[in-house]
A and B are shown apart, each in its own frame.
Chain A
Amino acid sequence: MSLLLSIKNLRVLFNTRQGQTVAVDDLSFDLNQGDTLAIVGESGSGKSVACYSLLGLIPTPPGKIESGTALFNGEDLLQMDEAQLRKIRGNKISMIFQDPMTSLNPYMTVLDQLVEVLKQHHQINKKDAREKAVAALMDVGIEDAENRIDDYPHQFSGGMRQRVMIAMALMAEPQLLIADEPTTALDVTVQAQILKLIKDIQIKRQLAVIFITHDLAVAAQVSNQILVMEKGRQVEYGDTGTLFTESTQPYTQKLLSSVLRGGKVFPSFVDKNSKPLVEIHNLQTSFGISTGSFFQTKKLRKTVLENINLNIYSGEILGLVGESGSGKSTLGRSVIRLLESDKGEVIFEGRNLVELDYGQLKSARRDFQMIFQDPYASLDPRMTVFDTLAEPLLHHHLANKNNIEEQVNQLLDDVGLDRRFLRRYPHEFSGGQRQRIAIARAISVKPKLIIADEPVSALDVTIRAQILQLLLELTQKHQLTLLFISHDMSVIRYICDRVIVMKDGHLIEQGETEEIFNNPKELYTQQLLDSVPRF
């Protein structure tokens, strides 16, 4: 195998108001043709910056490539000017980005976007270009490529768009593909397909791939070399096979230990013979889509949940699994009436929540709270931590002016945040810390039921393990009942006592966690389980 890319002592700085920060420090690696290198690290570890700086894609200033060489086919990328780099980008080295929803131009057809790459680098006529684009789409497994090529990005699903992105990256037949978290935004079954696709194409074309990811399991599956980065430094670099078994670096160990394996260590004590905390009967929820003019609205309704029957027992953590669009978030929101349902019953302590009037509902809200997925959007950016946490306490008269500060401080202790953060605003915290604040807000009013909607899917792996641990502790300490919504099977197995599988608005399977994982009865559940990356 011939050497394609050789990085030596790459060092990238960023000048900020606070002074210089080193984003990438002394990074060195070699990549042969046909090999896959996975760069693993948490957010902020410099893994993306390192790759972007190769192609001159970091903004300078504030960024600055201070030293190092990056020999690509014997030429130093770091010494090239913008015009030379443009000949490399998309042509010899191309990229796939994380979010397939935003990395395609919504106003251009897929054909135009695919052909744009070719036109940039080669002389080619319209007919040939179209033929090549169709072939590229077929290569990435898009059916009916001949017709679909004239569609716009919004007409494709997330997984399809990522396939289009890959097709686009491969149009000019590059030698090196840089994939920056290409599957993070995708469902687990789609992720499995995309990983397989990248692998197949790589073997077929003898492509070199740099795969940036925070997920060790994904890295293990796709790569033959792994480079672990922490805070800009290269912690470990070696063959994928040996790294997992022979690593002695504490940081790699930490990453490995944060991979969730196996089931719940201490299952919650749940009395199945007791009366359930929540009984859901025949719940149906639909969304109205109105069309037509103001005076003549035609209401179409799309049923999102149908005939949901479900019990939630006091003290349990009930997992709700499904792919995006399966209606799992809608179910969570319908239970606590953040969304209105069409019919059915949600019996909570003898009262049917679906039928409560506005006043009753307002006071009942104390008993059920929600933790949201995106810790960046779920906190009011203009409120300090203190204001955010004091609001529910004061609203429900659980504290008064004299003891509010003490109560809020106790909440911070509960979720493991330092008391001196009290007056800070959300943007001053990391994602994990924000999620702790959101959890503190949810438990502040001592609710009986908490709906956690993908609470860890936006977090780094090491942070994810910590937050799950925190949730386990808190449910024990405060005797909480959790409806835990997730698409991640390993998370569900780690934290839940019981699991419900959803597909297309229906419950298709439910049971004890270990039973579902060891003996799935439905084919769909089996598929979900099979697509979890393993090593």
Chain B
Amino acid sequence: MQIEKGTSLTQDAIRRLRQNRMAMSGLWILVFIIIIALLTPWIAPYSYEEQNLALGASAPSFEHWLGTDTLGRDQLTRIMYGSRVSLMVGFVATSVALTIGVLWGAIAGFLGGRVDAVMMRIVDALYALPFTIFIVLLTVIFGSSMLLLFLAIGAVEWLTMARIVRGQVLNVKQQEFIEASVSIGLSPWQIISRHIVPNVLGPIIVYSTLTIPSVILLESFLSFLGLGVQPPASSWGSLISGGVETMEEYPWLLIFPGLTLTITLFSLNFLGDGLRDALDPRSARD
């Protein structure tokens, strides 16, 4: 008999993820979309601000595969350029929220007592701030920029993450294996990083895959307020909200950006589910 395969959780997780077809197709579609987004300036058929007012809003054709908008701009090009903004906002803002939220929640939950109380009251206070006014204030003070966009979204999204993580940590903390690691002599930081965080990964991953789409949509709202992307630059969010206005006359202006976003989100969800299963040894089905 041979010693069974696998060395660490990460390697096992990769092996299990590979066996999950849904997750892998999600991953490949995401990779494809990201590559397109990166290469857009070189492969886009038109320039994103090139207008053709004579053409106006035209249905998909050979020249314009996904049609043009009311100003005669090529929609495929605009979706491609939009993906750069949306994906960046989605991933960067989510990672900001993820990092702060997980650390904050894990520390509060693990240390407990007064520290926990103070840390969570700060979260509550921030929750209570009206988001819209907060953004408007930021815009007035600092003007609009992409950096500010990340900051604003990150500042809001980590709160929920911190709460979710804290709740999970409180639950995991009571289990005997945490006491066992105290009795081995591990420091609090070692216990958090080695034993607690890996055991709360499931909800973290699921919530992250939910955060990315909500961040992408949040961006379109912020752009509408004048923070973030300004026309003629585009993002998926702004294309969709533009498309909604002309939905009855020119449905393709809503359908295609919507479809792109939907495909991305589906892929993200499949990948997220796959990751959650892959990181949980108990879901193994060998």
Give residues in A with beta carbon < 8 Å to B: 17, 294, 333, 336, 338, 362-363, 365-366, 368-370, 372-374, 377-384, 387, 391-392, 395-396, 418-425, 427, 438, 441, 445
Complex Cα spacing A387 to B187, Å: 17
Residue from B8, B183, B184, B186 within 8 A of A387 (CB atoms):
B8
The closest CB in chain A to the CB of B113 belongs to A290
- Which chain B positions have C-beta within 8 A of A363? 185
Complex Cα spacing A303 to B120, Å: 30
Complex Cα spacing A294 to B194, Å: 32
Question: Any chain A CB within 8 A of the CB of B50?
Answer: no
Question: Any chain A CB within 8 A of the CB of B179?
Answer: yes
- Which chain A positions have C-beta within 8 A of B185? 362-363, 365-366, 392, 395-396
Interface locus among B67-75, B209-217, B266-274, B277-285: B277-285
- Which chain B positions have C-beta within 8 A of A392? 184-185
**Residues A368 and B183 in contact in the complex (CB < 8 Å), given A384-B6, A422-B3, A423-B4:** yes
| B177, A377: Cβ atoms closer than 8 Å | yes
Say how far A5's CB is from chain B's closest CB, in angstroms.
38
Question: Any chain A CB within 8 A of the CB of B21?
Answer: no
Question: Any chain A CB within 8 A of the CB of B61?
Answer: no
Extra inter-chain contacts (4) besides given A336-B183, A380-B195, CB under 8 Å:
A338-B179, A338-B182, A380-B181, A380-B199
- Which chain A positions have C-beta within 8 A of B181? 380, 391
| B3, A420: Cβ atoms closer than 8 Å | yes
| B179, B186, B285, most chain A CB atoms within 10 A | B179
| A381, B7: Cβ atoms closer than 8 Å | no
Complex Cα spacing A374 to B199, Å: 18
Residue from B1, B6, B190 within 8 A of A420 (CB atoms):
B1
**Residues A338 and B177 in contact in the complex (CB < 8 Å), given A382-B9, A423-B5:** no
Say how far B117's CB is from chain A's closest CB, in angstroms.
6
Say how far B7's CB is from chain A's closest CB, in angstroms.
7
Complex Cα spacing A377 to B90, Å: 37
**Residues A382 and B198 in contact in the complex (CB < 8 Å), given A338-B182, A372-B180, A395-B186:** yes
**Residues A423 and B281 in contact in the complex (CB < 8 Å), given A377-B176, A377-B177, A441-B180:** no
5 A-B pairs with least C-beta separation: A365-B185, A425-B281, A378-B176, A372-B176, A392-B184
Question: Any chain A CB within 8 A of the CB of B121?
Answer: yes
| A17, B285: Cβ atoms closer than 8 Å | yes
| B176, A365: Cβ atoms closer than 8 Å | no
B159-194 interface (Cβ within 8 A of A):
175-177, 179-187, 190, 194
Residue from B3, B177, B198 within 8 A of A423 (CB atoms):
B3
Give residues in B with beta carbon < 8 Å to A: 1-9, 117, 121, 175-177, 179-187, 190, 194-195, 198-199, 279-282, 284-285
The closest CB in chain A to the CB of B7 belongs to A423
- Which chain A positions have C-beta within 8 A of B281? 381-382, 384, 425, 427
- Which chain B positions have C-beta within 8 A of A336? 183
- Which chain B positions have C-beta within 8 A of A421? 4
Complex Cα spacing A17 to B6, Å: 22
Complex Cα spacing A422 to B1, Å: 12
- Which chain B positions have C-beta within 8 A of A381? 177, 199, 280-282
Complex Cα spacing A424 to B284, Å: 11
Complex Cα spacing A374 to B175, Å: 10
Complex Cα spacing A392 to B198, Å: 18
- Which chain A positions have C-beta within 8 A of B179? 333, 338, 370, 372, 378
- Which chain A positions have C-beta within 8 A of B6? 384, 423
**Residues A378 and B285 in contact in the complex (CB < 8 Å), given A395-B185, A445-B184:** no
Q: List 18 A-B contacts (CB under 8 A).
A: A363-B185, A366-B185, A369-B184, A370-B180, A377-B175, A377-B176, A378-B175, A383-B195, A387-B8, A391-B184, A391-B186, A396-B185, A420-B1, A420-B3, A423-B5, A427-B281, A441-B180, A441-B184
| B176, A422: Cβ atoms closer than 8 Å | no
- Which chain B positions have C-beta within 8 A of A365? 182-185
Say how far B198's CB is from chain A's closest CB, in angstroms.
5
- Which chain A positions have C-beta within 8 A of B279? 382
- Which chain B positions have C-beta within 8 A of A438? 180
The closest CB in chain B to the CB of A368 belongs to B183
| B4, A294: Cβ atoms closer than 8 Å | no
Complex Cα spacing A39 to B29, Å: 56
Residue from B121, B180, B182 within 8 A of A378 (CB atoms):
B180
Say how far A411's CB is from chain B's closest CB, in angstroms.
14
The closest CB in chain B to the CB of A369 belongs to B183
Say how far A148's CB is from chain B's closest CB, in angstroms.
30
- Which chain A positions have C-beta within 8 A of B2? 420
Complex Cα spacing A422 to B195, Å: 19
**Residues A294 and B121 in contact in the complex (CB < 8 Å), given A365-B185, A382-B199, A423-B4:** yes
Complex Cα spacing A483 to B165, Å: 36
- Which chain A positions have C-beta within 8 A of B187? 362
Say how far A259's CB is from chain B's closest CB, in angstroms.
28
Complex Cα spacing A370 to B281, Å: 25
Complex Cα spacing A272 to B195, Å: 41
The closest CB in chain A to the CB of B1 belongs to A420
| A383, B182: Cβ atoms closer than 8 Å | no
**Residues A370 and B183 in contact in the complex (CB < 8 Å), given A384-B6, A387-B8:** yes
Complex Cα spacing A445 to B194, Å: 19
